[in-house]
Structure 1
Amino acid sequence: MRNLLIFITKYNAFFLFLIFEIISLVIYIKYNSFQKATFINSTSQVTGALYTQVNGVQDYLSLKEVNDSLARENARLRTQLKTAFYTDTVAKHKVDDTVFKQQYTYIEAKVINNSTNRSNNYLTINRGSRQGVAKGMGVICSSGLVGKVVFVGEHLSVVQSMLHKDSRFSAMLAKDKEIGYVEWSDDMDPHKGILKDVSNNAQPKIGEAVLTSQYSLFPAGIMIGKVTNLHSRAGGYTLNMELALSVDYSRLHYVNVVVNKYAEEQAGLEAQEKKDE
């Protein structure tokens, strides 16, 4: 405290000058309309620029909340798509009564671990059995097919991605709906897949879209990739074709787990059918 008093005493002339200068500026601005308007305008520009910078920082810090919100909204909107419903048609007295029933719902999830450079690639998501995720469920993103759930914990799940030597999904050509199945490319390129065993009646074209079929874990019509090359198989009965995969698996941040409400019923019936064979 003593040092502070000594410092003020030593430089008292400077502090008096500073005080009088501030008082004169306040009087000058307060009682001159032009200077007052100029000062207010300058102050507004400075504070506006400052608020813009602060707001930018706040927006950056809130990106996680925004992304989570968008992921939830995306999942909600997917449940309203036509492909998330099936048509239950009952004919009574020659009157068709068609009712659309919900078949698919979606659970949004964040990718917290991922690999693309191995022969068997997986990703980990922050949703588990508590959120309704179960083994065997399909996983998609805004760009298309991602993979299927293979391990489920209480809060986390592991997804076997398309980039896995054992991944195989039912698929179809977008134009004539010819069915085949899609696998990862033999050269393990993370951007390439192969559509196999398509009927040679099909007439695919380079650039044609390949989608999930009605026999897959997913709603029909989910994007998988586009045809880049055609190959005939020995015997000429089926066609194989190379695909450019629609999903960039190295840039996955948010995904949706596909909940098929009738998967358990279908699996039970198909298991019973195999027993009766």
Structure 2
Amino acid sequence: MTLLDVRDLTVRTATGRAVVDGATWSVDTGGRLGIIGESGSGKSLTALAVLGLVPEGMDVSGQVLLDGVDLLTLPPRGLRRVRGARVAMVFQEPLTALDPLMTIGRQIAGPLRLHRGLRGDAARAAAAELCELVRLPEVGRVLDSYPWQLSGGQRQRAGLALALACEPDVLLADEPTTALDVTVQAEILELLDDVARRTGCALVFISHDLPVVAQLAQDLVVMHDGVVVEHTTLASALAGADHPYTRELIAAARAVSHLPEDA
């Protein structure tokens, strides 16, 4: 069953240039969708538009339907009820996504207070459970730490805990492993896979790295110059993509790393 349905999504700059042009894709309840494209292809802006987080001055049109409700038509207060509670996002660089002046515990407790009404010890206990879910060590220390006191991998795990605080139906992961070394990257990918299985959330994983996407996704969206040029299953794309750009991406990925013929 379709959970998040993006239709003809267009994002324009103040000068009228379309940086995302008519993007259309969907993800089912519990589904796994990978969005791939080079830097500047519009994939991250697409995710930001879903949550109403595009930079000031940009215009967004089209539809973003969550269970049939168009998020683009919601007033700010209505969108705040959705953001974090039903659709959450993990960002590429947690050091900038997290508040440097607030402890991890207070940051995770924020959505717990806003959406679940938890306070005090109850909020801290729930935050600790979330830290354990994302396999953070020394949970008590982490909760009392500021982002700059943690390693890159720990910050990304904390960002994931924050995103999962209200058990969202959709988790948008925007290049969450790019800033990490190879070993930590593999751990975060395994963690995302495990969390998606355990919570049942739909996962939309955004990356420029096709082999990484292939580890998590069932379906694939390929973006090029702001346009969706392919929307298919990962297995179909690997077996024989329709668009030349997709075929080039697959050929390049197979030249430098292991990539199966199908998935």
The TM-score, its normalising length taken from structure 1, stands at 0.23
Q: Name the structure, 1 or 2, with higher relative contact order (CA <8 Å, separation 6+).
A: 2
The structure with the largest alpha-carbon Rg is 1
Query: Which structure shows the higher helix fraction?
Result: 2
Query: Which structure shows the higher strand fraction?
Result: 1
The TM-score, its normalising length taken from structure 2, stands at 0.24
